Structure 1
Amino acid sequence: MILKNKIYWFICLLLISGQQVLAQTATDSSQVKDLYYQALNEKARGDIDLAQTTLHKLLKLDDSNDAAYFELARLELEDKNLGDAAIHAKKATTLKPDNEWYWVLLADIYKRMEDFNSLPPIFDQLIRIKPEKKEYFYDRAYALFLNNELDKSLQAYHEIEQKFGKDDNIIIARQEIYLKQKQPKKAIEEVTSIIEKEPDSTKGYLLLANLYLKLNKPKEAIKVLDEGHARIPGDPYISLSKADAYHNLKDEEKSTRELRMAFASERMDFEGKMRLLISLMSDPKSNEMAPIVRDLANTLTISYPTDARAFALYGDILAQQKQLKEAREQYLKAIDINSRVNTIWEQLLQIELSLGMQKEALAHAYKASALFPQQPLTQFFSGHAFFMEKKYTDARSCFEAALNYVDEKNTPLLTQVYSSLGDTYHALDMFAESDQAYEEALAIDSNNVGTLNNYAYYLSLRKTNLEAAAKMSRKSNELEPNNPTFQDTYAWVLFQQGNYAEALKWIEKAITNSGEKSFALLEHYGDILFKLGNIEKAVSKWKEAKATGETTGENVELLTKKIDAKKYIE
């Protein structure tokens, strides 16, 4: 009886224990599921760090959750944490070796790590899972090439050919392998087979000519291209390749002739001609090609007189070649055709401001800022156009709009926007806001010389926080020595601090480096001389400043009072 009771209670305990395990498993499973969906939601909201933390919590509860390892690896890859991403992606593939996307993720991670040695086995797995997917066979062959396993790579391409049939991509890949193996004859034979197969197709001639150019055999390239032109007369792309070959032979006359022939061909569409001009612009030899590129761009506008892109590109080319007035004319023509392209307005405003065409920039700023209220760069240039014409309220609106829409990752523009707001708020007597804007600019870029100078100068005008002003002005002069504007600012900060002897040294440096008479520098020079007791010379400099100011349209009323009274007047 006692034994039976013991057995009974033992069975009961087992049953109870089992129920607790089942209850615990069910609870854990539910919690794991909740954590997984929580992580996905956090990821969707952009809370990457929080999503990773949630997935780590999940994996403490269930370290066999392949989906969690996969999602964690994806987040780590996005976060550029490649080492951990590789570990977790590999764990996912171990737990679920037949999941295609786990292996694809692991391959992407190794590519980013440039760990080419680890790639071929991954593509072996992907081929096992999806033997009908041709791209995995190509990926494996190319990975072997990157890993310098050239014979294996050749064999892999042979297998592709056996399984999927002949393909020009295989020929091109084999050509690269033969070149790397220093077997140029085999490389030439491979590409020649394309011409033999398709003698009326441009591709083979271009590939073989390009190969000869790689081998530094431009004469052979021209010979092939001549054969191509005989089969396909007037082909623009063969002409372009010939232009390259003649350039290699230093025969610029023939190179230019072929280039013009290609560009004149109706077989090259508008987009092709645009791409060609853009590539010529970005060529390191673009200075040598400048007249030809300019001429081709002009030809494009003649051929396509109703397409704003042609005129905008011509403007870009002229601007690159420092022909700003001519570039401006092309941008105006582009806007007449299509006024809805913000980048054209940005270029136009930038050029007008740099040319000192302030009235014209102002007129265009009104239009551009209204057309593109959410384009930060358009608003930024419009703001400067308004600021230069003392339309400070309009300038403020533009700079604040630019601030609202600028990408925070674009720190150079963000710095300039804050700095410009500092200038504008100061002009509107919003001094607290001005100081804050400058502080924001310097928090992003503490070495921004323009911000350092302007902030220091405006503090000196207000006789506020002069110690900080002196520190900033000193720093701007260290960062950019011999800048007369920065030297003048430092002289004026020292003046406001009562350090007139040191101020005199800096204003004289500024005048020496200026190279031309400056109204502001001469007036400051006179002010400093007066404080040092040199009244006669001070009045002389004031008179000189007045004469300069009258020719440049400055307000000389205060100077006249100083001269008449022979004393410094604020």
Structure 2
Amino acid sequence: MKGKVFLLILLSYIPAVQAQQPVQGYVDSNLVKTLFFAGLRDKLNEDYSRANESFTKILVLDPNNAAVHYEIAVMNYRQNKLFEAEMAIKKALVADGNNVWYWMLMAELYKRKGDMEALVEVLNQMIRLAPDKEAYYYDRSNAWLLAGNTDAAMKGYDELEKKFGNSEALNHARQRVTMEKDDTAGGQNEGHQAAASLSPEQTMLVLGEKLYRQGDLKGAMAQFKSILKNTDQIYMAWERAIHIEVVLGLYAEALKTADEALSLYPSQAVLYYHKAVALQHISNYTEALTNIETALQLDEGNALYMELYGDVLFLKGEPAQALLQWKKSKAAGNSSEKLNKKINERKYLE
């Protein structure tokens, strides 16, 4: 049953016509159609630069063309430009929030990022559009389980049973949730049983997240590193591995991992942030500054990044600029006691 596996969207096989919407009410509708199909042809030939040119021309004529934003999102996704893909698919969804293919791509992006809470919200929309699609209910409860929200996962299965009836697959799914809830001692045997229906990489991700939440950073690191030996396509494993290496003071390893991750995911702000933290700790303030500036370009409103930006500026001998960034961080919602001390004492604190 499809519901036994986590959502897997094979974007390369999604027919473009299934996500397209008819061009409406344009004097230059023939030009729009010509550009659109030229873009599709170039996309299929993996000439993404030429395809983007055609799609961009359409957006000049029709800025709210949902199908074009979707195609741009797919191209960026295939090139591992996840930030750009997310921005494009969000524009498609603003223009047309009732196309399940758009939500499917959004779901895949959040799965790659490891943002299970956001994934749940997307799956709610997919269930709204396709309430008889049993797999979406399983996927939503799996997302809750990966996020550690076992109560919500169980409620999701209750809703599934009410709509579709009981089944062996549903019983197994509930057993996984029960084992996760009962595994308070952190035993890995129970964890392996709880994740028995997941892929090997998803099983390790579940275990890694559990150990991470319990504070067993070395144990969690072993799981995330094992994932990365098998595949480089699970983004959350990269992010967690880098973060743990920084926390454990393994700065050289963190920098190596960050460089490898950024070669695959060059648009993920948090990777530049973790790299900047590692560089700061080895007193390479110039490169740390470059990386935190890049992180802020990708996520300009992030208060945590602003605070680190101020830290690096102070350590580089620019206290006035550092204070400005700390104040910006506070204005953006960072209310930590440590940040307030930095502002009040006008100095960097370890």
Q: TM-score interval w.r.t. the shorter chain? A: 0.5 to 0.7
Taking the TM superposition and a 5 Å limit, the aligned residue runs for 1:95-174 are: none
Cα distance in 1, alignment partners of residues 266 and 156 from structure 2: 37
The match for 1:346 is 138
| Distance change (3 Å), C-alpha of 1:556 and 1:441 | same
Contact kept, 8 Å, 1:549 with 1:556, in 2: the verdict is no
The match for 2:101 is 320
Can you list the C-alpha shifts for 1:375-426, whole angstroms capped at 9, x where unaligned? Answer: 49x86xx98xx9xxxxx969999x935764136xx4xxx3244235334322
Gaps of 5+ in 1: 1-280, 291-316, 336-340, 387-391
Q: Which has the larger radius of gyration?
A: 1
Contact kept, 8 Å, 2:127 with 2:137, in 1: the verdict is no
The match for 2:294 is 509
Matched, 1:433 2:219: yes
The match for 1:540 is 324
Cα distance in 1, alignment partners of residues 264 and 225 from structure 2: 18
- The amino acid of 2:344's aligned partner reads D
Gaps of 5+ in 2: 1-12, 23-97, 105-121, 162-169
Cα distance in 2, alignment partners of residues 374 and 320 from structure 1: 29
Contact kept, 8 Å, 1:418 with 1:441, in 2: the verdict is yes
Q: 2:285 aligns with which of 484, 500, 504?
A: 500
The match for 1:286 is 18
**CA RMSD across the alignment:** 4.3
Higher percent of residues as helix: 1
Can you list the C-alpha shifts for 1:245-287, whole angstroms capped at 9, x where unaligned? Answer: xxxxxxxxxxxxxxxxxxxxxxxxxxxxxxxxxxxx9765323
Cα distance in 2, alignment partners of residues 538 and 504 from structure 1: 12
The match for 1:487 is 272
Per the TM alignment, residue 320 of structure 1 is displaced from its structure 2 partner at its CA by 2.5
The match for 1:17 is none
Aligned residue pairs total: 232
Can you list the C-alpha shifts for 1:292-343, whole angstroms capped at 9, x where unaligned? Answer: xxxxxxxxxxxxxxxxxxxxxxxxx953353956533366x669xxxxx6x3
Contact kept, 8 Å, 2:144 with 2:153, in 1: the verdict is no
Can you list the C-alpha shifts for 1:109-140, whole angstroms capped at 9, x where unaligned? Answer: xxxxxxxxxxxxxxxxxxxxxxxxxxxxxxxx
Contact kept, 8 Å, 2:306 with 2:329, in 1: the verdict is yes
Q: Which TM-score applies when normalising by structure 2?
A: 0.54
The match for 1:445 is 231
Contact kept, 8 Å, 1:425 with 1:431, in 2: the verdict is yes
- The amino acid of 1:320's aligned partner reads W
Cα distance in 2, alignment partners of residues 545 and 510 from structure 1: 14
Contact kept, 8 Å, 1:403 with 1:418, in 2: the verdict is no
Identical columns (%): 19
Can you list the C-alpha shifts for 1:57-98, whole angstroms capped at 9, x where unaligned? Answer: xxxxxxxxxxxxxxxxxxxxxxxxxxxxxxxxxxxxxxxxxx
Q: 1:454 aligns with which of 237, 240, 259?
A: 240
Contact kept, 8 Å, 1:491 with 1:504, in 2: the verdict is yes
Per the TM alignment, residue 495 of structure 1 is displaced from its structure 2 partner at its CA by 1.3
Contact kept, 8 Å, 1:488 with 1:510, in 2: the verdict is yes
Contact kept, 8 Å, 2:242 with 2:254, in 1: the verdict is yes
| Distance change (3 Å), C-alpha of 1:348 and 1:406 | closer
Q: 1:366 aligns with which of 154, 168, 171?
A: 154
- The amino acid of 2:346's aligned partner reads K
Per the TM alignment, residue 538 of structure 1 is displaced from its structure 2 partner at its CA by 1.2
Cα distance in 1, alignment partners of residues 15 and 256 from structure 2: 44
Q: Which TM-score applies when normalising by structure 1?
A: 0.35
| Distance change (3 Å), C-alpha of 1:364 and 1:419 | closer
Can you list the C-alpha shifts for 1:403-459, whole angstroms capped at 9, x where unaligned? Answer: 64136xx4xxx3244235334322321122112112221221256443223211222
- The amino acid of 1:345's aligned partner reads Y
Q: Which has the higher contact order (CA 8 A, sep 6+)?
A: 2
Can you list the C-alpha shifts for 1:10-47, whole angstroms capped at 9, x where unaligned? Answer: xxxxxxxxxxxxxxxxxxxxxxxxxxxxxxxxxxxxxx
Taking the TM superposition and a 5 Å limit, the aligned residue runs for 1:328-343 are: 328-329=127-128, 343=135
Contact kept, 8 Å, 1:507 with 1:521, in 2: the verdict is yes
Cα distance in 2, alignment partners of residues 529 and 499 from structure 1: 12
- The amino acid of 1:436's aligned partner reads A
- The amino acid of 2:172's aligned partner reads Q
Cα distance in 1, alignment partners of residues 263 and 136 from structure 2: 37
Can you list the C-alpha shifts for 1:153-182, whole angstroms capped at 9, x where unaligned? Answer: xxxxxxxxxxxxxxxxxxxxxxxxxxxxxx
Cα distance in 2, alignment partners of residues 349 and 283 from structure 1: 28
Matched, 1:560 2:340: yes
Taking the TM superposition and a 5 Å limit, the aligned residue runs for 1:131-280 are: none
Q: 1:523 aligns with which of 307, 320, 327?
A: 307
Cα distance in 2, alignment partners of residues 431 and 346 from structure 1: 29
Per the TM alignment, residue 368 of structure 1 is displaced from its structure 2 partner at its CA by 4.2
| Distance change (3 Å), C-alpha of 1:416 and 1:351 | closer
Contact kept, 8 Å, 2:273 with 2:291, in 1: the verdict is yes
Per the TM alignment, residue 471 of structure 1 is displaced from its structure 2 partner at its CA by 0.6
Per the TM alignment, residue 525 of structure 1 is displaced from its structure 2 partner at its CA by 0.7
Contact kept, 8 Å, 2:276 with 2:292, in 1: the verdict is yes
SS in 1 for 2:278: helix
Cα distance in 2, alignment partners of residues 510 and 565 from structure 1: 26
